[in-house]
Structure 1
Amino acid sequence: MGEILQEDKGVLKQTLLIEIEKAKETMIQVAREEGITSESTLQVSQSIDQLLNRLHKVSLTK
């Protein structure tokens, strides 16, 4: 059973990494269009922070 959880954890980490990369690309695009200090850029940045926090939590659990 521990192996299944490890596998699920690996899939979750991979999914989070993909989502983080997509969000980073979105943030760059929004920053180019609206400026680096725009509300939209800030919102995308905060969503990246949340994804990074989730990735960190997943990485810490055994």
Structure 2
Amino acid sequence: MGRPKSSRYCKQPLLNNLSASIALSFIASGFFMVRGGLWLTNRKLAPDLSRNNEQ
């Protein structure tokens, strides 16, 4: 027997789809980690500046 009929619906190889989705997941997670890191540093600096102004 040849290939199953359902294979005609998947034009691209599954490995390409898998590698592309993994790469996009890494890019998205890195972006959100950087955004979260910047938010945390800004949040930590704000109380320090207000304390310096009070002294």
Relative to its length, the structure with more helix (as a share) is 1
What TM-score, normalized to structure 1? 0.52
> Which of 3, 11, 20 does residue 7 from structure 1 map onto?
20
Q: How far, CA to CA, are the matches of 1:26 and 1:20 in structure 2?
A: 10
The answer to whether structure 1 residue 19 and structure 2 residue 32 are counterparts is: yes
Unaligned runs of 5+ in 2: 1-13, 49-55
Stretches of structure 1 lacking an aligned partner (at least 5 in a row)? 36-62
Any residues of structure 2 matched to 1:1-62 within 5 Å, and which? 1-34=14-47
The higher radius of gyration belongs to 2
Work out the CA distance in 2 between the residues paired with 1:25 and 1:32: 11
Q: CA RMSD in A?
A: 1.2
Identical counterparts, % of pairs: 3
Per-residue deviation at 1:34?
A: 3.4
**Higher relative contact order (CA closer than 8 Å, sequence separation 6+):** 1
